Amino acid sequence: MAWLWKKSKPEANALSPLDRDNIPQHVAVIMDGNGRWAKQRGLPRVAGHHAGMKAVKRITIAADELGVKTLTMYAFSTENWTRPREEVDYLMRLPSEFLAIELQELIEKNVQVRMTGWREGLPAHTLAALDQAEADTRHNTGLILNFALNYGSRREILEAVKTVAREAEAGTLDLDKLDEETFTKKLLTADLPDPDLLIRTSGEIRLSNFMLWQSAYTEFWFSNRYWPDFGKEDFEEAVREYQRRTRRYGGLK
Ligand code: IPE
Ligand code: IPE
Ligand code: MG
C-alpha cells in the first residue's frame, strides 16, 4: 500500500531559502491600494501614489536580486482616465518624478526601462521621461523594468484582431496559417514572455483588464497589503509560494 502514500514536497516555510533554479522569469504586479493606504492615514489619495513610488523602487531591487528577468508594473490602466483630473495629472507626473530620482541607479544596476501601453493620450512630459529612460538604458542587459501605462488588455486584443484582419484583407497574412504564436506577436507585449507570476496587492481578487491573453497559464498570488506597504519579504513570499506550485499546463505531472 506504500504507493498510496503521496510523496509530498518538503514543506517550504517563511524561513526556507528560495530555490535559485526556479525563479519566475517574468513577474507582473498590479500595484493596488494606494488610495486606501492614504485614506487610512487621513491623507489625500495622491500621498498614497507618492508612497507607492518607493515601493516600486523596493520591489525592483528585490526582483533584481532574485534574478527575475522581467518585472512589469501595472501603473495606469485605460480605465484609470475616469478618475478625477487632479489625480490623473498627479499619476502622469510620477514617471518623471520617479526617474529623476532613480534613473542613475537603474543605469548603474544594468536595468532596462520599458513601457507597455498606448502612447496617445499620455502627456508629452510623461512620454519624454520614459523615452529618455528607455534610451539611456537600451544597452543594459539586466532586469527589464516594464511599466504598463495607459494599458488595457481588451483594447490590446481588439487592436491585434484589427491588425490581423487588415493584413488578411491586404493579402499579407494567410488566416489559415494564423496561430497563437503569430497572434501573440501582434500584442503590445510582443517582445516579452508571458508572466510566470502575477501579484496583486490590496486584497482585490481580479485582473482589472490586465494581460488577459498573456496570463492564460500565469500563477496568481494575492496580498492583502496595500501597495505602499508591500516589501521585499512580501515579494519573496510570493516567489516562495510560486515555487510550491506545480504548473501543469493542462497536462499531467
Ligand atoms: C493603485 O492604487 C494605483 C492606480 C490604480 C493608479 P489605487 O489608486 O487604485 O488605490 P485604491 O484601490 O483606490 O486604494
Ligand atoms: C488596477 O487597479 C490598475 C492599476 C493598478 C494600475 P484599479 O484600482 O484601477 O482596479 P479596480 O478599479 O479596482 O478594478
Ligand atoms: Mg485600486
CATH of the domain at 127: 3.40.1180.10
Residue at 40 is within a domain: yes
* Per-residue pLDDT band at 39 (split at 50, 70, 90): very high
Pocket test for ligand 1, best of 30, 36, 82, 223 (most atoms within 8 A of CB): 36
Distance in angstroms (rounded) separating the CA atoms of residues 57 and 228: 11
Distance in angstroms (rounded) separating the CA atoms of residues 217 and 131: 31
Kindly give the distance from the C-alpha atom of residue 79 to the centroid of ligand 2, in angstroms, as a whole number.
8
Residue at 161 is within a domain: no
pLDDT of 53 reads 98
Task: Say whether 110 is catalytic.
Answer: no
**Which of these, 227, 188, 193, lies nearest to 71 by C-alpha position?**
193
* Per-residue pLDDT band at 253 (split at 50, 70, 90): confident
pLDDT of 15 reads 64
pLDDT of 13 reads 63
* Tens digit of each residue's pLDDT (9 = 90 or more) over 204-242: 999 999 999 999 999 999 999 999 999 999 999 999 999
pLDDT of 124 reads 98
Residue at 251 is within a domain: no
pLDDT of 144 reads 98
Residues with CB under 6 A from ligand 2: 30-32, 74-77, 80, 204, 206, 208
Of all protein residues, the one whose alpha carbon is nearest to atom 12 of ligand 1 is 33
Kindly give the distance from the C-alpha atom of residue 176 to the centroid of ligand 3, in angstroms, as a whole number.
41
* Tens digit of each residue's pLDDT (9 = 90 or more) over 19-33: 999 999 999 999 999
Q: What is the mean pLDDT of residues 129-154?
A: 98
* Per-residue pLDDT band at 107 (split at 50, 70, 90): very high
Residue at 48 is within a domain: yes
User: Which cell numbers hold the place of 154?
Assistant: 481588451
Task: Say whether 32 is catalytic.
Answer: yes
Residue at 17 is within a domain: no
CA separation (Å) from 88 to 7, 51, 82, 121, 209? 52, 16, 8, 12, 18
Phi and psi for 218 in degrees, rounded to 5?
A: -75, 145
Counted domains in the chain: 1
Residue at 182 is within a domain: no
For the chain, how far is it from start to end, CA to CA, in angstroms? Answer: 21
Residue at 252 is within a domain: no
Phi and psi for 153 in degrees, rounded to 5?
A: -75, -35
Q: Domain range spanning residue 231?
A: 24-152+195-244
Whether the predicted pLDDT of 193 surpasses 90? yes
Residue at 61 is within a domain: yes
The model carries a pTM of 0.94
